[in-house]
Structure 1
Amino acid sequence: MYIPPYHAETDVSTVLSLIETQPLGAWVTVGADGLIANHIPFILDRGRGELGTLRAHVSRANPVWQQLSREVDSLVMFQGPHAYITPSWYPTRLTEGKVVPTWNYVVAHAHGQAHAIEDPHWIAQLLFDLTEHSEAQQAMPWKLADAPQDFIQCLARAVVGIEIPISKLQGKWKLSQDEAMADRLGTVEGLAALGDANSVALAHLVRQQIK
């Protein structure tokens, strides 16, 4: 990923936080016939490895777990808030006119050697952890124990675990850092005025970069 210095997010904890809050990863690995891409939710274990370890599961019917490369690392991409930025928010369009549209976004790229895990105890713990993490914000969190155990065990046998110790972590926070200050402030106002959760979150991130 191309990252100009002013767009680089070098704080590891900040990048890992994006993974935790946006757990659906675009996972790309190399198989027998070339690149394989899957979109699956990951859970991050910060306590395992210098940069943490990603855990997930795929259907046993998905051939990806049998084709994992031992020579080329996998890449998992996590996308945060993003939006089109219109020059109509830039005050300098009226004075200088040298403005063009852009796109603001935050992304995390995690690299690492992926391997498959078929151990039923590992898979059971993953399913528990993933459910607990995903249900945490619900008013009445659903738990694995709420379903018949033979039903859960049957489904668990139909999946394979995936573990990726993170060996390289990149963060790109493209948040108007290379624009004039007046235009950056205009971007904050424009995004906030849109009112939707994504735009408001992005406005907050742009404001943080200004501060």
Structure 2
Amino acid sequence: MNAKKIAGEKAADYVKDGMTVGLGTGSTVYWTILKLGERVKQGLELRGVPTSERTRQLAEQLGIPLVPLAEAEPLDLTIDGADEISDELDLIKGGGGALFREKMVALASKRLLIVADESKRVQRLGAFPLPVEVVPFAWEVTARRIERLGCHPRLRLADKGTFLTDNGNFILDCDCGLIAEPAVLNRKLKELTGVVDTGLFIGMADTVIIGASEGAKTVERQCGTDA
């Protein structure tokens, strides 16, 4: 069975009647949203806060009621995916380009639940290029400043030119090597004028559900053990 589907559907069990839920972006949380759409048709009451236009469109198609983040804080729960998950449950996100909205919604939530397949688990972050959202104005200057921190940025492209986030910004995919101190790198990047935010989600994930062919495994930050 599809490991992403296993993890995504398992996460939907955490959503209870009357909750306000952040709806993440990506190929694993897609299955969560589909399952929530089924449960809404069966009578589940919830309000969703989408983290991207793509997620908004999917939720609307499924009949999931949506509310703007500004009217929803604090959210009960956000369910989202990740590109890498370290042993400390720190994350790299942003492969889909929605990192800024994902971080805004996650920070407004009482709990962040991450869903992924086994391939996303790593001992140390950094094999996956770190997405950094930057303003388009003089992005080359920002890229040079990022390079001085020991990372090698590459402008993300799309079929019709430069990739644009839902906020109208650019993404620099940065090869930083294995990251020894993710919190330090995140702080240094965010101090650079021109950087909107980074794909480093440090100390934010409360629960991680890892899907595998034989089932789902849950890791909780507070106990640090597998269940």
Higher relative contact order (CA 8 A, sep 6+): 1
Q: Which has the higher helix share?
A: 1
**Structure with the larger strand share:** 1
TM-score, normalised by the number of residues in structure 2: 0.25
TM-score for both structures, normalised by structure 1 = 0.26
